[in-house]
Structure 1
Amino acid sequence: MWSILCRCAAVLTSAALVGGLSGAPAALAEDFSRVDRDPVQGNEIVLSDGTEVPTALFSLRVADSASVSAYTAEADGEVRQRAAYVESAWDDGTRWTEIDAVTDSVDRATWVVANSYPHVALADLAMASETIFLDERQAIAGTQAALWHVLDGVELDPGANDTAVTALYEYLVAGSEDAPDDSGAPSLKISPTQLETVAPEKPLGPLTVTSSGTEPVRVAVRGAPASWLVDADGEQVRRVHDGESVYLDVDPSVPAGVVTLHVRGDDVPLPEGRLFTGRDGVRTQPLITAEPGTAARATAATLTWHSEEPEEIASPEPATPAPSVPEPESAAGTDDSAVVVPDATPSDEPSDEPREHSADDDLAGTGTWLSGLLIIAGALVVSGLIILVLGRKRRN
């Protein structure tokens, strides 16, 4: 008897836990990057307005891959080392293109990091900038000042800074004016990221995959079971190369659905000059990769289709009113001023009119998760009491 009751208590507790937690949202895995150690400090620089600003070279671990060096894209703000970063497209914001210059500011920034430290050795960089000696702190300061100039319009005070820093800054600023066109696209991208159609007769698409690598990347869909990824010839595909397009072939018997197209590549090349910003709008300094690397990259797109929208139904013609029947005269005669007042007593019959939506109706659904927690707590208390009472009886 004792063992049976203990089992019942355990089953009750487990059922409450499963029922209460079944409504909890599942966590979604997502690649992100972090600043993984203290930065290497550079010389402090003096701007044209007299402001003194520190410089540093950060280490950014891209997803689970090796770390790469990175500079900040703006002179103001700070890097939150615990913040999660994601690779972003330069054209997501307009602030990178507001600098008045002949050459695009993003192209200039890419040229700066590709032709400076740590991508270029200190001795070679000193020779290119025509300085006698250049150490790591000076190289970091000169490179960071040049990036702030081409991206943020910051001017360096030539007379208030180290000679080697100023020489490197001027070399990088001048050289970036003739930078070649570089789109600065992310290392892995799918376009468009959202696609919607009505009653598709052909496969949905195209969706074009762009990758910085030469190896194919994996593609897969999740959502509607009766759908497949195909190429332009209608053949099913699981891997695509850079520049290739995919389509979603939908079973005609499925009138509507939503699927997510996942694209993932292993050891995708990550060129220097790629932009990383705070995930989900987290405020932290944007970072620019200063050396090439490789990383596992992932991206996704959403495809939606639904059945053809029904045509609007014409409103019926109003019925011809029936001829009015004169009411019988009362015994007291007729009185034109008499008014018939309808009975205001509420009826128990249900009304055909739609009920107004109340804010309380929305609030009623918010207690689902709280109710689950209360069920769990109650089940645990009841189980404990049962075991305690039965334990005492057993001892007696």
Structure 2
Amino acid sequence: MSGILLRCAALLSASALIGTLTTAPAAADDFSRLDRDPVAGLPVVLTDGDEVDTALFSLRVADEDSVRAYALVVDEEVRPRTAYVESAWADRPEWTVTPGDSAPAHRANWVVSNSYPNVPLPVLGAASGVLFLEETHAIAATQAALWNVLDGVELDPDTNHPDVMTLYAYLVEGSADAESGTTSPSVEVSPAQTEAVAPEEPLGPLTVSSAGEGPVRLSLRGAPASWLVDAEGEEISQAHDGDEVYLDVDPSVPAGVVTLHLRGSDVPLEEGRLFTGREGVRTQPLITAEPGSATSSTSATFTWRGEEPRGETTEEPEPETAGPEAPEVRELPSPEPVVEDTPTPEAQDRNTESGLALTGTWLSGLLVIAGALVVSGLLILVLGRKRRD
């Protein structure tokens, strides 16, 4: 009994461990946060008369590295404690699909690539026609230009500082001809979802993309009887840019869902990258304003299920119930013709005295009694032999 209890306890402990592993949260450094107070820019006045503060934020994108970033919309609050993750510009169609003109995302990328802090203040001042450009003016003009191309905001030319208006006009007009500029996330996997029915071969492939030359770490969460393999079927735990990844599934597992996590360290992060709230949390989206190195991560899912039964299988039992063949087999020939033969006078006398007709039912009863007697005799012989033994 103690052995059974020990085996049950071991099974419960293993189940708890598997549950912990499959539901474990992502590592703390798989996301970014605002790490210190922003640098304030000069407030700007919009055409509707509202005065809005401007700022240059600092976004921690790795264990020790930070990059500076701007806000993208006017009326969204920046939540300092919110976790940020790198996102794809393609996920925001309002910024990437604009027929006829340059897409807002391309224009925003041009603004941060050609403004402060990516461009030093003296160089930016000379390019825009502003002598002795101050940091607060550069921050205000850059932030207002981003609001213009992404959020349609206009500055009041009569109220704002002349240097702010000059740099603002330079950035808005220069970005109008931007044809491209946005890049893919620093670590990406495609496709993000893979499904299969009763797979006989490994699921995939998924293609890994990375802006860095170093390896991307791979890990799985989900069904335990599955392994990551390469195109040759060799088990792997990391990949490089352009590598293909497959999921090998144990055939004994009929269905499951596995999440593939990818994590790259010290991945180059260019200016113009989009960062949004992790897991859809609403917060002010940010755009990086200078290059740096980041700890970047992403994920994809593998899904498989058993083969569904075909439509013909539901019709196979039909021949068993169709047709009158079964009732015809159960109907035995009636013994009545034999009984209907003319009885002898002695038989007539016996029928009259007993009040029973000589029918098939009467004969069947005799047969049943005779069979019972035979079976009883056999049982008596068997029991007697067992006793003698």
Q: TM-score, normalised by structure 1?
A: 0.70
- Summarize the alignment of residues 270-309 of structure 1 with structure 2, pairs less than 5 Å apart: 270-309=269-308
Higher helix share: 2
Which residue does the alignment assign to 1:314?
314
Shift of 1:140: 0.2
Q: Distance in 1 between matches of 2:26 and 2:114?
A: 36
Q: How does 1:322-337 map to 2 (within 5 A)?
A: none
Paired residue secondary structure (2:68)? strand
Cα distance in structure 2, aligned partners of 1:279 and 1:128? 37
Distance 1:26 1:199, change over 3 A: closer
Residue 26 of structure 2 corresponds to 29
CA separation of 1:304/1:99 partners in 2, compared to 1, >3 Å: closer, same or farther?
Answer: closer
C-alpha distance in 1, partners of 2:45/2:186?
35
Q: CA deviation at 1:179?
A: 2.3
Listed as ranges, the matches of 1:1-396 within 5 Å are 27-30=24-27, 31-97=30-96, 102-312=101-311, 313-314=313-314, 317=318
SS of alignment partner, residue 159 of structure 1: coil
Q: Which amino acid in structure 2 is aligned with residue 267 of structure 1? A: D
**Count of residues paired in the alignment:** 303
CA distance in 2, matches of 1:261, 1:99: 33
Amino acid corresponding to residue 29 of structure 1 in structure 2 = A
Once the two structures are overlaid, the 10-residue window that deviates more, 211-220 or 129-138, is 211-220
Structure 2, unaligned runs of 5 or more: 1-12, 328-389
RMSD: 2.7
Distance 1:215 1:205 in 2: 23
Q: For residues 26 and 99 of structure 1, what CA distance do their matches in structure 2 show?
A: 41
- Contact 1:99-1:153 within 8 A present in 2 as well: no
The answer to whether the 8 A contact 1:65-1:294 is kept is no
Q: Is the 8 A contact 2:110 2:181 kept in 1?
A: no
CA deviation profile, 1:349-373 (whole Å, cap 9, x unmatched)? xxxxxxxxxxxxxxxxxxxxxxxxx
Larger CA deviation: 73-82 vs 218-227: 218-227
Deviations along 1:166-198, one digit per CA (max 9) or x if unpaired, are 111111112212324234322111122221100
Deviations 1:43-83 (A, max 9, x none): 11122222221111111112524121110000112211122
Q: Which amino acid aligns with 2:36?
A: R
Write out the 4+ residue segments of structure 1 that deviate beyond 4 Å after TM superposition.
21-27, 98-101, 315-322
**Deviations for 1:76-97, whole angstroms, at most 9, x for unmatched residues?**
1221112222221112233324
Deviation digits for residues 191-233 of structure 1 (CA, Å, limit 9, x no counterpart): 2222110011322112111212122312233444443333334
Deviations 1:377-396 (A, max 9, x none): xxxxxxxxxxxxxxxxxxxx
Deviations 1:310-369 (A, max 9, x none): 2244255567899xxxxxxxxxxxxxxxxxxxxxxxxxxxxxxxxxxxxxxxxxxxxxxx
Cα distance between partner residues in 2 of 1:115 and 1:172: 8
Counterpart code for 1:156: L
CA distance in 2 between counterparts of 1:67 and 1:291 reads 10
Partners of 2:167 and 2:68 lie apart in 1 by 19
Return the alpha-carbon distance in structure 1 between the equivalents of residues 214 and 289 of structure 2.
Answer: 23
Report the secondary structure of 1:303's partner residue: strand
> For the residues of structure 2 that align with 1:250 and 1:83, how far apart are their CA atoms?
37
* 1:142 counterpart SS class: helix
Q: Which moved more, 1:265-274 or 1:48-57?
A: 48-57
Normalised by the length of structure 2, the TM-score is 0.71
Report the equivalent of 1:9. none
From the superposition, tell whether residues 67 and 219 of structure 1 become closer, same or farther in structure 2 (CA, over 3 Å).
same
- The answer on whether the counterparts of 1:117 and 1:140 sit within 8 Å (CA) in structure 2 is yes
What is the match of residue 349 of structure 1? none
Amino acid at match of 1:286: P
User: Percent identity at matched positions?
Assistant: 62
Matched AA of 2:37? D
* Paired letter, 1:257: G
Q: Report the equivalent of 1:363.
A: none
Q: What CA distance in whole angstroms lies between the structure 2 residues aligned with 1:156 and 1:244?
A: 48
Deviation at 1:164, TM superposition (A): 0.8
Matches of 2:138 and 2:99, distance apart in 1: 26
Structure number with higher relative contact order (C-alpha < 8 Å, ≥ 6 residues apart): 1
Q: CA deviation at 1:121?
A: 0.8
Give distance in 2, aligned partners of 1:100 and 1:72.
Answer: 25
**1:262 Cα deviation from its structure 2 partner:** 2.0
Cα pair distance change 1:78/1:100, threshold 3 Å: farther
- The alpha carbon displacement at 1:100 in A equals 6.7
Who is 1:360 aligned against? none
Are 2:196 and 2:304, in contact at CA under 8 Å, matched by a contact in 1? yes
Q: Which range is displaced more, 162-171 or 231-240?
A: 231-240
Change beyond 3 A, Cα 1:311–1:222: same
Distance 1:277 1:210 in 2: 20
Q: Once structures 1 and 2 are overlaid, which stretch shifts more, 282-291 or 92-101?
A: 92-101
Query: Structure 1 residues 201 and 182, CA, compared in 2 at 3 Å: closer, same or farther?
Result: farther
Q: Give the distance between the partners of 1:86 and 1:73, measured in 2 at CA.
A: 15
Shift of 1:252: 3.8
Superposed displacement of residue 273, structure 1: 1.0
- Partner in structure 2 of residue 5 of structure 1: none
Paired amino acid for 2:65 = A
Q: 1:298 to 1:190 in 2, by over 3 A?
A: same
The range that moved more, 263-272 or 83-92, is: 83-92
